[in-house]
Each structure stands twice: as structure tokens, then as C-alpha cells.
Structure 1
Amino acid sequence: MKPTSILINTIIRHKKKHTHPTGLSGNENASITFIGNATTILEWEGLRILTDPNFLHAGDHLHLGPGVTAKRLHDPAVDLHQLPPLDAILLSHYHADHFDQLVEDSLNRDFTIISTPHAKECLAGKEEPFTGVVDLDFWKSAMIHVGGEKAGEGKARQPRVKITGMPGKHVPPGPLAVVNDLLGAVPPTNGWMIELGYGESSLDKAPSGEAAALGGPVPGTGEGGQELKTGYRIYISGDTLFVDELKDIPKWLKDEKVDLMLVHLGGTTIMGPKLPLIMVTMDGKQGLQLMRLMDPDVTIPIHFDDYDVMLKGLDDFKENVNGTEFEKKIVYLDRGEQYLFKVRE
């Protein structure tokens, strides 16, 4: 079995690899590959998780809500059919720029998808329903078994991935949020906390990629004896604005550290009732606010310029962070590039 990083690099033709901004390298055992928009591949111990799959091409259009369409401006790094085998999908919300029709039509109906209660309701209600959806509300968790020939080889403890739903709001609070709740135009969204680590549990005999729902809300542990010693923690913001609910995340973390943050940017702007313009994802200023709130060791911006409704791209983010204490804690990935990191034992 070839290492997963070799498989990915073969598919995307050996794009550049990045490591920690301090230059530390040589013992990395996991990676994030940026495909485009909010689509990434997380790889560790033979497990591959795909986030927010969107594989439309430049020039394609999609529907984002009543009277709202968007045109894709950039191609993804790979096409859907070129992906290596996957174990699970992490879907922040059921929106066409995060789960397009091609993806929906192509997936096995029993494929493991971790998403919101709203997304599960939508996917389970299809004429051919999706049966492998695990829905996580805020602060609820699921544990993914990491299997395969070499997973945990020579280790007393087995690799685990714990995923916890984090707060997010795609629509600014106030009257517009009330209207959106009535119309259902913009779906509810989650952020995610992903904890990679090792533990001992009954999940050892489960198939690789199978997700078991847990309770919450304590970081770094599971329930029912499924203890997790976290070796690396990734926070994915999802399509949220910088809202007060995000301030509960550091409280939930207590003194635990975020190693890597994937922040959804773009200042996505759509028309609302009576045609006012509404920003529904963070711009550069809010992205900096989130960095100050979460204080991650490393930040990677994603979801910033793939669609024409994204009015505040990567330059806007750079203008806000350059000259701050976070300037040297950011890794910028082009489509197809990887960030390599070390999960501690």
C-alpha cells in the first residue's frame, strides 16, 4: 500500500508542499490538501476525509437561494472522478457550493457523511435517501474509527478522529435572520473541531471510516470508554460570520490549543429581501478577529475567490493580517497544494 501523500501527489501532479511557518519539518505524518473553495482532503493513518465537496468547473453556475445564482471562477485542483478512495465526508451545510449536484448524484447512498441536522433531513428525504448521514448539532460529537492494514501498527493505542460541531451563523443576526428562518433560503451551518489522536475502545472492530455518534461537550474525550488522547486539533470555521456565539468556542476548549485553523473567507455577498446586499461569510477583517479569538498555531485561509459572489478575496485578508502578530502564522495554499503536519502521540 502506497503512502497516502504519494497517492494524492500522483493525482494532482506534485504540487507544492508546505510545512510549519517556522520551518520545522521532517517528521510530519498527516496532511491537508486544498482542492478549491471549501473542499480539502484530510489524510492521516490511512484515513481520508473530504470536506465540503464542490467540483464544478470555471464558468459553471449554481443556485444559492431564491433569485441568487453564482458563477464559478476557478477550476478545482482535481475532478471528482480523480479522487483517491475516501472514508467520509465532512459537510458544513447543505448548500450547492459545498455539495454540488454532481457529488450528490455520484455518491453511494450509504457513504458516511457528517453534517448538520438540516442536511441530514434533506439528504435522508431524497427519492433515493442517503442512509449514512451522522448529524451533529453544536457541541455534539462523533468518533471515526481509523482502520486499514497499517493503522496503529505497533501501537498499544489505536488512531481515532473525533469531530465536534461548532457554532456558526451564515446570516447576520436580526430581522434578516428571522426572515431567512421563515424562507429557509440560506441553510444552517456548522463549524467543526477535529481532534486527531489515539485511544482504546470497542471501535477497534468497526470498519474504517465508520462514524459513531457521541455526546459532549468535553474536548479531548469521548463517551462510553472511548477516551481520546488528542495529538492534533483542527478548527474549521465553516461559512459563518464573526458572531457572538463563536466566543463560546474558547470557553469549550478551556486551556486546550488549536493547532490549525481553516478559515472560510470571501466576504460572500448576496441579495436579501427587497434587494439589500448581505454579507454571509467573513471578510478579511472578521477573519483577523477570529484569529485573535481562537489564537491558532497556524491558519490556512480557504473559501475566498472561487465564486463571483465572493467580493472580499485573499488580498483583503492579507491587507488585514499583514503587520499583525499573526502575519507569520499563516500558510497560503494554492489549489492542489498540501500542508503537512505532525500528529503527536
Structure 2
Amino acid sequence: MQHITIDPRKVQPPTRDGGLNDLPEHLPTPKATNTHPVKPGGENASIYFVGTATTIIEWQGVRIMTDPNFLHAGDHVHLGPGVSSQRKTNPAVDLHELPRIDLVLLSHYHGDHFDQHVEASLRRNLPIVTTSHAKKILTSKGPDSFTAIYDLEPFQQMMINIESDPGNDASPSLRVTGMPGKHVPVVKPIEKLNEFVGAIPPTNGWMLELGHGKDASSFKPGYRIYISGDTLMVDDLKEIPKRYGEHNIDLMLIHLGGTTVPSPSLSPFTLMVTMDAKQGVELMRLVKPDVTIPVHYDDYDVFASPLGDFKEIVEREGLGGVVYLDRGEEYRFAVRQ
């Protein structure tokens, strides 16, 4: 098992051209704060929604950023041979306005999750947990390579200790586990074609556990966050509830949008590569998280399944525990001791 330590007391800017004198101490004041819909209280951690699949999770002085994408409305990203997409929204905060970031969880190497501006700007020693495909690319840039890239296959784990007082065996730690995901339909001709052209990269989901204990044997999780990543509803996901048990996942960040390539306007000659509203509800029923927060649903013109479709099904089927965040809003939650 890979094992690293991060020290939030050693302040470093998120970007390599940023200066410590100009580094803000905090994220912008949230436009709104949400808590557990039926069991609020004891909140000691938060998730700030930037936009697309970009969130910033804060706990014990550590900030974890997911799938950094900071382009603006009108900017384009490359999504494969001959395929690009235009952003329709602005992020809640700009990349160069971020406070210190300690860790990045990158589900896959795609422009709407790791855009060209992010790739050029992030400091090269920022720890990034990602796929082996993304690691190969990010570490093969010669002198401009990223230097702290860690890759996980599905159900492989790594421990991330948070530097604290010496001798404290119950110090705060993170455990990250790779989760399965399929960014293309499980149809042999489509999978073979994608392998040949390399249009859709391999993707991971994550199980991020916030807890205490310095190693795997002593670690006690106090809160579990399942991040779906860009996946379709596939059989591989059925392994998740088998391993984690019913109602044992506190929060799910679910990537929706029904991403359709090359463009929804070319229907029926298109391919859906992320969950739409119907599949998102299927995943809720499978994983049974205590709370679900949808992300990745309206920021790019390749998203064909709006958030309203998901809301409609959730309401019609009487499903609870869904919290909707707008860009710039936060969700606060309680990590158990």
C-alpha cells in the first residue's frame, strides 16, 4: 500500500507562479451553506462546489481538490480526435485565487477534468492521485513533469497521513481507494474502437475516507465519501455495496450530465459516456448513500441530461437525502471521532 504524509502547516500556493504574500487563507465566503437534510449538527468539515466535477473538501486543515477545471464560459476543451466542447458556465473561484491545496484526486485525464490552464499552472510537486494512464502522461514531460503522482487501480488503497503532533497514533488521516468506472459503453466493438483511437481515457471513481490512525491496521474511518467519477451504470459498480455494506457510505458525489459525444446536436449518431438522470438514480439505489450531491451536469455543451431530469425522477420516486449545490455553495458535514 502506498503511504504519504502531507503537512498543511507548510504553506505552498496551488500554482507554481503564485506568491505566498498574495495567497488567500480561505476560499470565498459561500453563497449558501447546506447541512444534512434531516440530521444536522456537529459539522467539522465541508465541500465547496466550484463547478463541473471540481470540488474542494476541507477537514483538519487539509484541502482536497477533485478534478480541477477552471475554464470560463466560451472556453473550449479537447475531448478526443476531432471532438471539442465549449464551457457554458464560469467556476465559482478562479484557479489563481485558490488558497493552499494539499491533494488532488483526478478521476481521469480529460480536458473538462484537468484543463490546459490547470495543467500548465499547478505546482509540479502537488500530490495527485489518479489513474495509471494519467500518471504516465503527467510524469513524461521532461523537466516540466509533475513529481508527486500516485496511481491506483480499482480497490487498491493508499494512506495519506496529515502531519500532527509527534507520537499521536490517533492522528487524522485519509484513506483513498480506487473505485471502478467505465467511461464508454461495455460493447466490444465500441471498446475496441476506443482502444484504437484513444478518444476516451480510462477513469476511476474514489472512496475517500476521513478518519484517524497512522496506518491501515489502526485506521478508523469517521466519514466515507464515494466519488463516482465519469462512469456509466455498469456491472463493475455492483462490487461497491458488496465491499462497503448497506448505508455505510455517508456521501456520494455523483457525476451526471449524460455526456454525449461528439455532440448532442448530432443525435442519433452519438454515444453517451457518463450517467444520465435515470442511471444516476440507479446508482443511488445501488450504493444507498446517506446523502447524494450531484455534480458535472450543465457546464459543457456535450452534457445532454440536465439536472432538472434528475430532480424530477428523485421527486417522483420519493427518494430522500439529495442535496443540490449551486456553484459557490458548500455542504458542511460531521466526521466522527
TM-score bracket relative to the smaller structure: 0.7 to 0.9
Is 1:135 aligned to residue 151 of structure 2? yes
Identical columns (%): 56
Q: Name 1:235's counterpart in structure 2.
A: 226
- SS of structure 1 residue aligned to 2:316: coil
| AA partner of residue 144 (structure 1) | I
Mapped partners of 1:324, 1:241: distance in 2 = 21
Q: Name 1:211's counterpart in structure 2.
A: none
Is 1:19 aligned to residue 35 of structure 2? yes
For structure 2, list consecutive stretches of 5 or more residues without a partner in the other structure. 1-7, 10-22
CA shift for structure 1 position 255? 5.3
| AA partner of residue 131 (structure 2) | T
- Verify the 8 A CA contact 2:246 2:287 in the aligned structure 1: no
User: Given the superposition, is the C-alpha separation of residues 229 and 23 from structure 1 closer, same or farther in structure 2, using an over 3 Å criterion?
Assistant: closer
CA shift for structure 1 position 108? 1.9
Q: Pick from 105, 111, 118 the counterpart of residue 120 of structure 2.
A: 105
CA shift for structure 1 position 156? 5.6
CA shift for structure 1 position 167? 0.3
- SS of structure 2 residue aligned to 1:311: coil
Is 1:157 aligned to residue 170 of structure 2? yes
Stretch deviating more after TM superposition (48-57 or 275-284): 275-284
Q: Name 1:301's counterpart in structure 2.
A: 294
1:230-275: CA deviation from partner (whole Å, max 9, x where unpaired): 1100000000000111011111224570000000000000039xx9
Mapped partners of 1:146, 1:152: distance in 2 = 10
- Verify the 8 A CA contact 1:89 1:113 in the aligned structure 2: yes
CA shift for structure 1 position 9? 9.9
Mapped partners of 1:311, 1:342: distance in 2 = 34
Is 1:315 aligned to residue 308 of structure 2? yes
1:78-119: CA deviation from partner (whole Å, max 9, x where unpaired): 000111101011000000100011111112222100000000
Mapped partners of 1:57, 1:81: distance in 2 = 13
Q: Name 1:71's counterpart in structure 2.
A: 86
Q: Name 1:184's counterpart in structure 2.
A: 198
Mapped partners of 2:327, 2:167: distance in 1 = 35
Q: Name 1:41's counterpart in structure 2.
A: 56
1:206-247: CA deviation from partner (whole Å, max 9, x where unpaired): xxxxxxxxxxxxxxxx2xx4x210110000000000011101
Q: Name 2:185's counterpart in structure 1.
A: 172
Q: Name 1:210's counterpart in structure 2.
A: none
Is 1:261 aligned to residue 252 of structure 2? yes
- The runs of at least 4 consecutive aligned structure 1 residues that moved more than 2 Å come to 7-14, 151-156
What is the RMSD of the two structures over their aligned residues, measured on CA atoms? 2.4
Scaled by the length of structure 2, the TM-score of the pair is: 0.88
| AA partner of residue 320 (structure 1) | I
Q: Name 1:336's counterpart in structure 2.
A: 328
Scaled by the length of structure 1, the TM-score of the pair is: 0.86
For structure 1, list consecutive stretches of 5 or more residues without a partner in the other structure. 202-221
Alignment: residue pair count: 313
Mapped partners of 1:243, 1:40: distance in 2 = 25
- Verify the 8 A CA contact 2:26 2:99 in the aligned structure 1: no
| AA partner of residue 110 (structure 1) | N
CA shift for structure 1 position 177? 1.3
Mapped partners of 1:74, 1:145: distance in 2 = 35
Q: Name 1:62's counterpart in structure 2.
A: 77
Mapped partners of 1:152, 1:74: distance in 2 = 43
User: Given the superposition, is the C-alpha separation of residues 57 and 228 from structure 1 closer, same or farther in structure 2, using an over 3 Å criterion?
Assistant: same
User: Given the superposition, is the C-alpha separation of residues 284 and 195 from structure 1 closer, same or farther in structure 2, using an over 3 Å criterion?
Assistant: same
Q: Name 1:199's counterpart in structure 2.
A: 213
User: Given the superposition, is the C-alpha separation of residues 198 and 323 from structure 1 closer, same or farther in structure 2, using an over 3 Å criterion?
Assistant: same
- Verify the 8 A CA contact 1:9 1:15 in the aligned structure 2: no
- Verify the 8 A CA contact 2:131 2:153 in the aligned structure 1: yes
Mapped partners of 1:134, 1:256: distance in 2 = 29
1:10-38: CA deviation from partner (whole Å, max 9, x where unpaired): 6424410000011523x100011100000
- Verify the 8 A CA contact 1:152 1:159 in the aligned structure 2: no
